[in-house]
């Protein structure tokens, strides 16, 4: 990126008004608010106790004073929760905690050790593989009695990967996890993991985490993660900590870390484990503190430039194992983020379907940019004329075959129904893949069709969406999130174009439940098998999300790729839904959408996280 286009990841205003002391005072003078506040306070006191009530009061007062305490959102367990967990005496599998040591400062070692000793689940084994210099070994600091067991072995330093591999060999547990020598577990971490294993049968479990300063006082960042997303994992090791996996799974994936991937050895391991896992579960709680000590990966991959190259190699190795031709590329100005350029495995025809009503300037811009930036030569364009009234429009249509190769117009008759128009156009399509494309799209990236096809060709992919910008260079679409404002919304909407997003989600390929129909590629066979867009319940709104959800429910992945970029001059084609008739139709279709997908709307989208609010589309914290 040039100097004036450095990443700008500032979260856009989410329309929420910042609290103030005056605002709090005015609310407290409102009798209705006071009654509601009293009721909620009593409920909190009864269900969670005085400690949680005090936390809530302290947090709210802090917000009024413009102080946002990270501890409130960090899932720190209550004392009563920890007491109940200890009293439960949960019986379950032994968990081996592998900790490679290397010249670990004594204070950090003690904090790590105490975080294990204080676990509310006691069937653990701490495996300490100490490759420190002889005068810096820490065996003498081990306690004589602990609830679990400790295995300590001094070894010659073979590097982090070989040292970890030795830890695997020493472990006796049915489940295994890795703990960095300067990091800290929450006291409820193993209890939560074992409960999840017992309730779900998972052989791979991971949690959310936070990054804190070396003294554990200042927040470096929240890592509030989505549920398992294989394309995202090839873009970022978003799982990192805490990850717990069965010994059976480790043996199946290979009980080693490879020196070839030093710096990204955990990423390689997690890629291999998740390939073989039978059931992956995500605990949507912070259970791990990643200490951002100088030189650590948590402090940024700038501290370990070699890790970026190792990350590329680790992803390439997975692509080879899975038979996916392609290669990983580091994302500039986003250390630790990668994009995969997949090779095309064939030369299938793509049918581009563009509904059009007048607005020939929009259509001409769309076609010109598409043909200029397709990056692929085997495609046709079907313009679906619907109810134009301007004679200039029809005169323009006559010029298309001579200006744009394999471009034709078909004529839809009937009232405006976006679903029916696209379904009608699809009956003329000769391609193996369909691209639904609004006529108010201007293609920007140089290999637009090729990039979309590189995902659509995969048998595990249902629909593929692009990165769309408003004309003011802010994000219009980067995937669809369910549950936003009682229906659905667009990920990172209104972020700056140069933003990298939450945990690099704007600049890496993502799996979402849906993508927008303004630019959506799918296999023609899938489109026909699933009945295209629903003309009855979703004539204008939600038809794209409905189609994607049908694919997702059948186990297919829906993908957003940041490498296919375009402007979207949104809603110029048919005007905004502000007229009363349009508004009523929208509300009917929204009601239909809620009735059909209430389970996904009322419960958090698996590719989002309950720590984020669902009122806005900006990954704002609750």
Domain ranges for the chain, please list them: 21-65, 89-329, 350-602
What is the pLDDT at residue 617? Answer: 87
Q: Are 325 and 345 in contact (CB under 8 A)?
A: yes
CA distance 541 to 538: 6
What is the pLDDT at residue 26? Answer: 77
Residue 598 half-sphere exposure toward CB, CA atoms < 13 A: 4
CA distance 245 to 241: 12
What is the pLDDT at residue 5? Answer: 44
What is the pLDDT at residue 63? Answer: 64
Residue 201 half-sphere exposure toward CB, CA atoms < 13 A: 2
**Euclidean distance between the first and the last CA atom of the chain, given in angstroms as a whole number:** 33
What CATH number does domain 89-329 carry, 3.40.190.10, 3.50.50.60, 3.90.550.10, 3.30.70.20? 3.90.550.10
Q: Are 328 and 312 in contact (CB under 8 A)?
A: yes
Coil, helix or strand at residue 18: coil
Count the helices and strands in the chain (H runs, E runs).
Answer: 18, 23
**Cβ neighbours around 298 below 10 Å, total:** 23
What is the pLDDT at residue 8? Answer: 59
Give the rounded distance of the alpha carbon of 15 from its chain centre: 23
Measured over the CA atoms of residue 301, residue 302, residue 305 and residue 309, the dihedral's sign is: positive
Q: What is the pLDDT of residues 388-408, one digit of tens each?
A: 999 999 999 999 999 999 999
Q: Which residues of the chain have pLDDT under 70?
A: 1-21, 24, 28, 54, 56, 58-60, 62-67, 293-303, 571-579
Q: Is there a common fold for 89-329 and 350-602?
A: yes
Q: Are 207 and 283 in contact (CB under 8 A)?
A: yes
What is the pLDDT at residue 2? Answer: 38
* Pairing mode of beta strands 461-469, 519-523: antiparallel
CA distance 505 to 521: 20
What is the pLDDT at residue 572? Answer: 32
| Closest to 439 measured CA to CA, from 364, 495, 379 | 364
Token code pair at residue 245:
């996996």
CA distance 542 to 102: 55
Task: Look at the domain 350-602 and name its fold.
Answer: Spore Coat Polysaccharide Biosynthesis Protein SpsA; Chain A (3.90.550)
| Closest to 227 measured CA to CA, from 245, 244, 206, 209 | 206
| Closest to 418 measured CA to CA, from 380, 466, 463, 386 | 386
């Amino acid at each position: 990126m040039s100097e004036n286009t450095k990443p700008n990841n500032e979260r856009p205003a989410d329309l929420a008004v910042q609290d103030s002391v005056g605002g709090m005072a005015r609310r407290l003078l409102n009798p209705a608010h006071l009654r509601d506040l009293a009721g909620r306070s009593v409920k909190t006191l009864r269900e969670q106790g005085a400690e949680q009530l005090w936390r809530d009061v302290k947090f709210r007062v802090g917000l009024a004073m413009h102080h946002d305490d990270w501890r409130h959102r960090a899932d720190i367990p209550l004392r009563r929760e920890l007491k109940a967990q200890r009293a439960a005496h949960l019986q379950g599998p032994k968990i081996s905690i592998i900790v490679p040591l290397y010249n670990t400062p004594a204070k950090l070692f003690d904090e790590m050790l105490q975080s294990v000793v204080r676990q509310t689940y006691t069937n653990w084994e701490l495996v300490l593989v100490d490759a420190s210099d002889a005068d810096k070994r820490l065996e003498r600091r081990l306690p004589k009695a602990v609830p679990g067991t400790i295995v300590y072995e001094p070894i010659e330093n073979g590097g982090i990967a070989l040292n970890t591999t030795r830890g695997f060999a020493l472990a006796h547990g049915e489940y295994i996890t890795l703990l960095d020598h300067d990091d800290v577990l929450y006291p409820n971490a193993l209890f939560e993991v074992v409960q999840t294993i017992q309730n779900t049968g998972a052989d791979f479990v991971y949690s959310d985490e936070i990054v804190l300063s070396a003294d554990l006082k200042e927040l470096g960042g929240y890592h509030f993660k989505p549920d398992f997303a294989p394309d995202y994992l090839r873009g970022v090791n978003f799982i990192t900590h805490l990850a717990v996996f069965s010994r059976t799974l480790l043996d199946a994936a290979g009980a080693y870390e490879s020196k070839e991937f030093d710096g990204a050895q955990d990423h390689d391991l997690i890629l291999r484990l998740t390939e073989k896992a039978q059931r992956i579960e995500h605990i949507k709680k912070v259970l791990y503190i990643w200490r951002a000590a100088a030189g650590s990966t948590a402090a940024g991959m700038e501290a370990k430039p070699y890790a970026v190259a190792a990350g590329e190699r680790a992803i390439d190795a997975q692509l080879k194992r899975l038979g996916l031709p392609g290669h990983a590329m580091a994302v500039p100005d986003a250390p630790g983020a990668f994009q995969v350029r997949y090779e095309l495995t064939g030369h299938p025809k793509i049918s581009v379907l563009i509904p059009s009503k007048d607005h020939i300037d929009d259509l001409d811009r769309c076609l010109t940019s598409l043909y200029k930036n397709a990056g692929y030569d085997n495609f046709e364009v079907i313009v679906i004329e619907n109810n134009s009234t301007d004679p200039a429009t029809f005169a323009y249509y006559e010029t298309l075959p001579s200006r744009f190769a394999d471009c034709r117009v078909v004529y839809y008759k009937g009232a405006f129904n976006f679903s029916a128009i696209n379904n009608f156009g699809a009956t003329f399509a000769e391609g193996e893949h369909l691209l639904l494309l609004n006529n108010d799209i201007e293609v920007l990236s140089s290999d637009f069709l090729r990039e979309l096809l590189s995902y659509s060709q995969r048998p595990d992919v249902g629909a593929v969406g692009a990165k769309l910008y408003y004309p003011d260079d802010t994000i219009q679409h980067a995937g669809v999130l369910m549950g936003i404002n009682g229906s659905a919304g667009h990920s990172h909407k209104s972020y700056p174009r140069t933003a990298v997003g939450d945990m690099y989600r704007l600049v890496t390929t993502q799996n979402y439940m849906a993508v927008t129909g303004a630019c959506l590629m799918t296999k023609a066979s899938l489109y026909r098998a699933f009945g295209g867009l629903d003309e009855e319940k979703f004539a204008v709104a939600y038809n794209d999300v409905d189609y994607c959800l049908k694919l997702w429910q059948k186990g297919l992945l829906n993908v957003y790729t940041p490498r296919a970029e375009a402007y979207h001059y949104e809603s110029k084609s048919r005007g905004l839904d502000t007229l009363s008739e349009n508004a009523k139709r929208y509300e009917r279709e929204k009601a239909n959408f809620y009735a059909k997908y209430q389970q996904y709307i009322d419960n958090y989208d698996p590719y989002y996280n309950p720590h984020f609010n669902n009122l806005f589309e900006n990954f704002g914290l609750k």
